[in-house]
Amino acid sequence: KAGVTQTPRYLIKTRGQQVTLSCSPISGHRSVSWYQQTPGQGLQFLFEYFSETQRNKGNFPGRFSGRQFSNSRSEMNVSTLELGDSALYLCASRQSTDTQYFGPGTRLTVL
Amino acid sequence: AQTVTQSQPEMSVQEAETVTLSCTYDTSESDYYLFWYKQPPSRQMILVIRQEAYKQQNATENRFSVNFQKAAKSFSLKISDSQLGDAAMYFCACLLYNFNKFYFGSGTKLNVKP
């Protein structure tokens, strides 16, 4: 099976812009989670989607949103970008209750 | 609150030696899984080893093994015969089965010296 894929791999934006990141899970996996990884804060959980519904949510402002499509692909959107949003954004997929498998991440740089 | 603690921000080991990475967790739940993930520099995070809390036997995967002490809520990772390719950030994680929530530790950076 193909692994978790994320696009784009690298992204440069300026403050105030918005960005959309995409994640395609492993075939058959219905759960997709998003994480923000920074050197100072480590791995921070953003949200999880399961069967097109948000199942869990972390402590991030409303500028961070997501959705999941019927084919389990997921998108994450960040509006009104801030310098502090620069990070590696990781997507992970899994079957209903089991191991998470991570994608390679999208490196977002906000200038 | 559920927490996962990795008290060693960074460790070093000589090639071919053995190293143990520590992890403690705090949960009142009885159904959970524990994981160790490895993230090499600028590379993808991959699963190293997985342990179901209801299993007493410690999980092993080739050179990687865990010491699962349920009463002490400790889940350490032992890497035997360390190789240069083992150099990475290692994250300990706990999945609470009934809440479908993962909790990650802050990570331990492992350096392997030739």
* Segment B8-49, tens digit of pLDDT: 999 999 999 999 999 999 999 889 999 999 999 888 999 999
Question: Do the Cβ atoms of B50 and B35 come closer than 8 Å?
Answer: yes
| Whole-number pLDDT of residue B101 | 87
Backbone angles phi, psi at B84, to 5 degrees: -55, -35
- Residues A7, A42: Cα–Cα separation, whole Å: 22
- Residues A97, B40: Cα–Cα separation, whole Å: 26
| Most A-contacting residue of B32, B44, B95 (CB-CB within 10 A), to test interface | B44
Question: Do the Cβ atoms of A74 and A23 come closer than 8 Å?
Answer: yes
* Average pLDDT in chain B: 94
**Closest chain A residue to B40 measured between Cα atoms?**
A104
As a whole number, mean pLDDT of residues A41-67 equals 93
| Tens digit of each residue's pLDDT (9 = 90 or more) over B73-82 | 999 999 999 9
Contact A33 B47 (CB under 8 A): no
| Tens digit of each residue's pLDDT (9 = 90 or more) over A75-109 | 999 999 999 999 999 999 998 668 999 999 999 99
**Closest chain B residue to A44 measured between Cα atoms?**
B104
Backbone angles phi, psi at A85, to 5 degrees: -85, -5
| Whole-number pLDDT of residue A91 | 97
Q: Which of B48, B74, B51 is nearest to B62 (CA)?
A: B48
As a whole number, mean pLDDT of residues B57-69 equals 96
Percent of chain A topping pLDDT 70: 98
